[in-house]
Amino acid sequence: MRQAKQPAERLTELVRQRLAPALAEHGFRRRSTAFVADRGEVRWLVDVELAPWSRPGSISATMAWGVHVPGLASVLEDRAGVRVTRPWTCPVHGRAGEGAGDLAASWHAVRAHWWPLDHVAPLIDVLDARTAVALIHDVTDDVLPHLGALGSIADVQARLARDLDRHPRTTSTSDLAAVRTIFALSVLQGERENARRWLDYLEARSARTMAPDLVAERLASLRQHCLT
């Protein structure tokens, strides 16, 4: 007797048959491993992210989102980031359900059923339909509002600047990466003076944990962008 499809196959079908058409209504098209919507200066990415605790018999998934800025990787001389295909590689990204107060992402499970297919097929269809509705709801009510506020390079830059810790007790790698990205976004917008100020700020914060001459050497190639 035939057995029910396993969670991975069912999730794939759910994404193709239900989620993809819903995203297409908002201008998203499947490219490589993510759904992408071009918005002029930026590209919005949406994808299904699997939880690290997922197993073959039980998969947990959430909707991840990110805002890709074309040209950013070139300014930062990051060859690995030129072809961005995943939301979490973007300068601003998140998951459905996350928010202030350390709210956790919204996860939805697709589980295996080991009974004969004839007995559980209707139930599986209902459960998968509910999961699809939940994922689509997360996109329309959570992900799209986040993306809607990030429709330009200036929006992305403002979000990064807003989230910076301006009075840190320690120098975090994530904050330094954010300042570096804000600098590069200034370059892309042709704001050379603003870029120089952010690079000076990056140099000052980096010098807290590294020899100043070494910091200056490492930032020398980036500083050339402020001179052209």
Chain centroid to CA 191: 25
Q: Which two tokens stand for residue 90?
A: 């973007």
Distances, alpha carbon 86 to alpha carbons 75, 120, 164, 195, in Å:
19, 35, 23, 27
Quote the pLDDT of residue 120: 63
3-state secondary structure of 34: strand
Quote the pLDDT of residue 3: 57
Average pLDDT over residues 110-125: 71
Quote the pLDDT of residue 210: 85
Q: For the purposes of burial, counting CB atoms within 10 Å of the CB of 7, is it exposed (0-12), middle (13-18) or buried (19 or more)? A: buried
Confidence check: pLDDT of 81 > 60: no
pLDDT band for position 70 (cuts 50, 70, 90): very high
* DSSP conformation letters of 66-122: EEE-TTHHHHTT-GGGSS--SGGGSSEEEETT-BTTTBPP--EEEE---SBHHHHHH
Quote the pLDDT of residue 178: 94
CB atoms within 10 A of CB 76: 19
**Residues 157-189: tens digit of each pLDDT:** 999 999 887 776 666 788 899 999 999 999 999
pLDDT band for position 83 (cuts 50, 70, 90): low
Quote the pLDDT of residue 173: 84
139 or 112: which carries more pLDDT confidence? 139
| Lowest-confidence region among 46-50, 165-169, 195-199, 204-208 | 165-169
Confidence check: pLDDT of 31 > 90: no
63 forms beta bridges with 48
Q: Which two tokens stand for residue 3?
A: 């057995």
Confidence check: pLDDT of 1 > 50: no
- Domains of the chain by residue range: 7-148, 164-226
How many angstroms separate the CA atoms of 144 and 151, rounded?
11
| Lowest-confidence region among 96-100, 195-199, 212-216 | 96-100
pLDDT band for position 92 (cuts 50, 70, 90): very high
Confidence check: pLDDT of 4 > 70: no
Average pLDDT over residues 113-136: 79
Distances, alpha carbon 134 to alpha carbons 35, 48, 75, 103, 107, in Å:
18, 12, 39, 18, 10
pLDDT band for position 12 (cuts 50, 70, 90): very high
Q: H/E element holding 31?
A: strand 29-31
Confidence check: pLDDT of 138 > 50: yes
